[in-house]
Structure 1
């Protein structure tokens, strides 16, 4: 193991913690509050934000989509530049927070905002931002990454920069009480695959990384089994588990995969498939395709997470258990947006992967376009 690790985001966790933003944002900074479709106005979060910002000069920008687009976010970027915004407050789930990071970085760039995603502009600094999490899933509230879609070209790409770490994040599980079941399922599945991308790779012998990843996976299994009995403890544990799944800790210094995400992003970009469901479509097929290189970790997962008995087919049974986990939520794990023969759909995804440079995916860089095609043929 060899790594350097730091996470600068201050976490305020628990009921009533939204009030902490009053002291976390400089009072002399103009604030832009960014949120999504307006659900924060029906669950009490918006009113708490208004109260906490009573001594601040602020304005708002709404309408950030579940898969945030450059086209929408450019409007917020214009406001930041025009009005001299000195602090951004993202209020929502991972999409709103991802989008706010994009705004924070692009507002300091004189060129087109998509230059961040294409690599033409390297993020060195960003407008300071904080986050109030309302949907646990992505861990974006305390990591340095984001994923943005360009609607005009059906591209969905990721960016990462240390300057995009939120200064603070408020995690109040009370905000989850009014979430639709579909969003909660998506959040749980998203967190599950985040852990898997950092865990189901190569045996490393790292007791801390593997052990912590296995704890998080067992948490999510338990929360999934108890999905119909949500109480305060259930919400607290999901929110904290999803945060820990992608705050950088369990992947630091470890081999990581992320092929499921890269392929899944194309399903979302082309057909607007829910992000979490795109992962559930791709992952089992990818694991079966790559089973020999991943056999050691799959066997470890089968034993330590699912409690399966040893045997020559333990890796295969572990993938079946993952399938059953998704089935327990009645997830549609086929690409139903494309009826009938999916040959053209598969070729569209492979073409997008090639255009985006995703020609050697996975921890072994063994997932070529032809392998991606085989994975999709099996998945769809």
Structure 2
């Protein structure tokens, strides 16, 4: 293991913690509050933010979509530049936080902000930002990554920069109280696959990383099995903290990571508007079966330590079945149905998108080429 690990995000966890933001945002800041469709005005979060910012100069920008588009985010960039905004506050789930990270970087760049996503511009400065999490799923509130979509070309891409990692994050489980069932399920599945992308790879001797990953998977499995109690304070708090820990950099430090499920899943979202988490549930079981010989040892480890399965020559196969069964127990589909009836054309369209975005070889072993992707999609597309 060779790695450098730091997580500088100051986390305020628990009920009533939104009030703490005025202790960490400099008092002379000119703040832009960024949020999505307006649910924060119905669940009391907006009022708490306004109360905490009553001694600040602030304004707001709303309308950030699920799977945020650069077309929308660039409107906020214009406001930041025109109004001299000096601090950004993201109030929402991963899409709002990811979008705010893009705004933070693009606002201090004179060129086309999409250059950040293509890698033509390496972020050298960014406006500081904080986050108030309302939907646990992505862990974006305390990591340096963001994913943004260019609607004009149906291109979904990500970037990483320590300069856009939130300075602080408020995780108040009460903010989840009005979330619809579908979004809670999506958050659960998204966090689960985040752990898997860093865990179901190949043995690397990372005892802490493996043990912590297995603890998180067991937590998420328990929360899924106990979904009927999702309105309890304990259920909400444990999902919120588990999702945060799933992608704050710790369990992936110094060990192989995959992310092929995400790369293929992004194309399902861009082309067919599949919820991000559901795109992962569609792709992952087929990908694991395709890559089973590379991943057999870790799948067997997961089968024993997470699902409590018995030893046997088919343990890896039974572990994949258990993962797929977990999704199905939550009524989360594991095959793509949003595409219509032409399966061959659908697979061709996804592969063309992957090729156009340079995603021709994926996985921790670089063993998933376009031919393997075709096989994976053949099983994942209904």
The TM-score range, normalised by the shorter chain, is over 0.9
Q: Aligned equivalents of 1:100 and 1:88: distance in 2?
A: 7
Matched, 1:121 2:115: no
Matched, 1:360 2:361: yes
> Would you identify which runs of 4 or more consecutive aligned residues in structure 1 move more than 3 Å?
none
Aligned to 1:111: 111
- Residue 357 of structure 1 and its aligned partner are, at CA, apart by 1.0
Matched, 1:85 2:97: no
SS of aligned partner of 2:218: helix
> How many residues get paired?
380
Give me the CA root mean square deviation.
0.6
Contact 2:198 2:252 in 1 (8 A): yes
Aligned to 1:327: 328
Q: Aligned equivalents of 2:333 and 2:303: distance in 1?
A: 24
Aligned to 1:197: 197
Matched, 1:17 2:2: no
SS of aligned partner of 2:201: coil
Q: Deviations over 1:196-224 (max 9, x none)?
A: 00000001121100000000000000000
- 1:1-380 to structure 2, matched below 5 A, reads 1-230=1-230, 231-380=232-381
Q: Aligned equivalents of 1:245 and 1:6: distance in 2?
A: 15
SS of aligned partner of 1:169: strand
- Residue 78 of structure 1 and its aligned partner are, at CA, apart by 0.3
Comparing 226-235 with 335-344, which one deviates more in the overlay?
Answer: 335-344
Comparing 141-150 with 200-209, which one deviates more in the overlay?
Answer: 200-209
Comparing 353-362 with 211-220, which one deviates more in the overlay?
Answer: 353-362
- Residue 370 of structure 1 and its aligned partner are, at CA, apart by 1.2
SS of aligned partner of 2:228: coil
Q: Deviations over 1:137-193 (max 9, x none)?
A: 000000000000000000000110010110000000000011000000000000000
Comparing 264-273 with 326-335, which one deviates more in the overlay?
Answer: 326-335
Q: Deviations over 1:92-144 (max 9, x none)?
A: 00000000000000000001110101111100111000000000000000000
- Residue 54 of structure 1 and its aligned partner are, at CA, apart by 0.5
Please list every run of 5 or more consecutive structure 2 residues that lacks an aligned counterpart in the other structure.
Answer: none
Scaled by the length of structure 1, the TM-score of the pair is 0.99
Q: Aligned equivalents of 1:342 and 1:70: distance in 2?
A: 30
Q: Aligned equivalents of 2:57 and 2:270: distance in 1?
A: 36
Q: Aligned equivalents of 2:360 and 2:267: distance in 1?
A: 14
- Residue 332 of structure 1 and its aligned partner are, at CA, apart by 2.2
Q: Aligned equivalents of 1:51 and 1:311: distance in 2?
A: 59
Q: Aligned equivalents of 2:257 and 2:4: distance in 1?
A: 16
- Residue 310 of structure 1 and its aligned partner are, at CA, apart by 0.1
- Residue 333 of structure 1 and its aligned partner are, at CA, apart by 2.3
- Residue 334 of structure 1 and its aligned partner are, at CA, apart by 2.2
Q: Deviations over 1:317-366 (max 9, x none)?
A: 00000011000111122222112231111111111111111111000011
Scaled by the length of structure 2, the TM-score of the pair is 0.99
